[in-house]
């Protein structure tokens, strides 16, 4: 793995898992997105499974969403919340919606609109991960760590520890400290350091 | 049934610390080996729940 901080790029030569192929296939259908939360730790080696991959996208007009919906369905995915595009668009305004390969609910993509400053931060500072069979955009490691410390289940703290140990040398410590202070997660940070 | 909650709590904390230690160990393994090597091992766990 090589992290080119100035270019905001990571080169990762991992063997792709079925989960990676699934995520790449879905993300290739999107113009703009950022992958956040647990799957990012898994992409970088955390040895655990997951049901859902969290993904943030910018706000879409109803027409844009309908176009995307059609593209998603034509590529073999289905929405697990509803099969009606109008219902789905309304639901997306306040909730996440899930997409999976038809007839295979696991794994699935938890699809959310960018709503708050934390989401926006992840999107504005996203990192491109170049893989053997494509590329993915992920939220930066500093935010990954801080947000996982905020979620704070054992699983989340372990994800934070994984990313922290792996990127330790390359982290922007000033930025990590700032995010830790903003999210008020100093105590949890001390637990995993 | 007698339950020693204090002991259970302590066991839980110790278990969490051990898991963090393992993560550190695993990350060292990742750093020392090529991406292809660690990912092949990891994929057994990651894909294990996908049918």
Q: What is the mean pLDDT of residues A26-42?
A: 98
pLDDT digits (tens, 9 = 90+) for B11-48: 999 999 999 999 999 999 999 999 999 999 999 999 99
Handedness of CA B5, B6, B10, B16 (dihedral sign): positive
Per-residue pLDDT, A23: 98
A13 part of contact set with chain B, CB < 8 Å: yes
A161 touches chain B (CB under 8 A): yes
A136 or B49: whose pLDDT is higher?
A: A136
What is the pLDDT at residue A46?
97
Distance between CA atoms of A84 and A105, rounded to whole angstroms?
A: 17
Q: Which domains does chain A have, with CATH numbers?
A: 7-140 (3.10.450)
CB contacts of B46 in chain A (<8 Å) are 17-19, 42, 47-50
- This complex has an ipTM of 0.93
pLDDT digits (tens, 9 = 90+) for A63-76: 999 999 999 999 99
CB contact under 8 A, A18 and B34: no
Q: Which residue of B has its CA nearest to A103?
A: B51
- Tokens encoding A119: 């989401």
Q: What is the per-residue pLDDT for B29?
A: 98
- Binning pLDDT at 50, 70 and 90, where does residue B49 land? confident
Name the residue with tokens 């995520």. A23
* CA A105 remoteness from chain centre: 18
CA A87 to chain centre: 24
Instruction: Identify all chain A residues contacting B27, using CB atoms and an 8 Å cutoff.
Output: 45, 162, 165-166
Closest CA to A133 of A5, A6, A1, A25: A25
| Nearest-angstrom CA–CA distance, A71 and A55 | 17
Which residues neighbour A67 within 8 Å (Cβ) at sequence distance 6 or greater?
none
Q: Which of A192, A189, A159, A162 is nearest to A176 (CA)?
A: A189
How far does the CA of residue A17 sit from the closest CA of chain B (Å)?
5
Residues in chain A with CB shorter than 8 Å from the CB of B45 are 47-49
Percent of chain B with pLDDT over 70: 100
Confidence of residue A89 (pLDDT cuts 50, 70, 90): very high
Partners of residue B26 in chain A, C-beta under 8 Å? 45, 47, 162
Query: Residue A55 burial (CB < 10 Å; 0-12/13-18/19+)?
Result: buried
pLDDT attached to residue A168 = 96
Distance CA A103, CA A158 (A): 32
pTM: 0.95
Looking at residue A28, its pLDDT comes to: 98
pLDDT at A164: 98
Token pair belonging to A45: 């080696």
Query: What is the per-residue burial (b if ≥16 Cβ within 10 Å, else e) of A105-138?
Result: eebbbbbbbbeeebbebbbeebbebebeeeebbb
In this complex, the residue of A13, A154, A162 whose CB is nearest that of residue B36 is A13
Evaluate if residue B51 carries a pLDDT over 80.
Answer: no
Query: How confident is the model over A154-174, as a mean pLDDT?
Result: 97
Q: Please report the pLDDT score of residue A133 as a whole number.
A: 87
Interatomic CA distance for residues B5 and B21, integer angstroms:
24
Percentage of chain A modeled with pLDDT above 90? 99
- Identify the pLDDT of residue B50: 80
């Amino acid at each position: 793995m090589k992290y080119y901080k100035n270019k905001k790029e990571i080169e990762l030569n991992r063997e792709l898992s079925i989960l990676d192929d699934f995520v790449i296939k879905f993300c290739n259908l999107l113009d703009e997105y950022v992958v956040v939360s647990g799957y990012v730790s898994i992409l970088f080696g955390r040895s655990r499974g997951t049901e859902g991959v969290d993904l943030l996208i910018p706000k879409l007009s109803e027409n844009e969403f309908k176009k995307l919906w059609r593209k998603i369905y034509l590529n073999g995915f289905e929405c697990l919340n509803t099969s009606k595009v109008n219902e789905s668009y309304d639901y997306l305004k306040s909730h996440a919606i899930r997409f999976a390969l038809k007839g295979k609910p696991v794994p699935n993509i938890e699809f959310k609109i960018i709503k708050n400053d934390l989401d926006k931060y992840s999107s504005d500072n996203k990192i491109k991960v170049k893989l053997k069979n494509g590329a993915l955009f992920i939220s930066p490691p500093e935010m990954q760590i801080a947000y996982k410390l905020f979620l704070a289940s054992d699983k989340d703290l372990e994800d934070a520890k994984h990313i922290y140990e792996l990127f330790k040398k390359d982290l922007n410590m000033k930025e990590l400290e700032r995010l830790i202070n903003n999210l008020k997660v100093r105590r949890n940070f001390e637990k995993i350091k | 049934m007698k339950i020693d909650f204090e002991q259970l709590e302590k066991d839980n904390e110790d278990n969490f610390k051990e898991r963090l230690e393992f993560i550190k160990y695993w990350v060292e393994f990742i750093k020392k080996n090529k991406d292809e090597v660690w990912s092949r091992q990891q994929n057994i766990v990651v894909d294990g729940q996908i049918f």
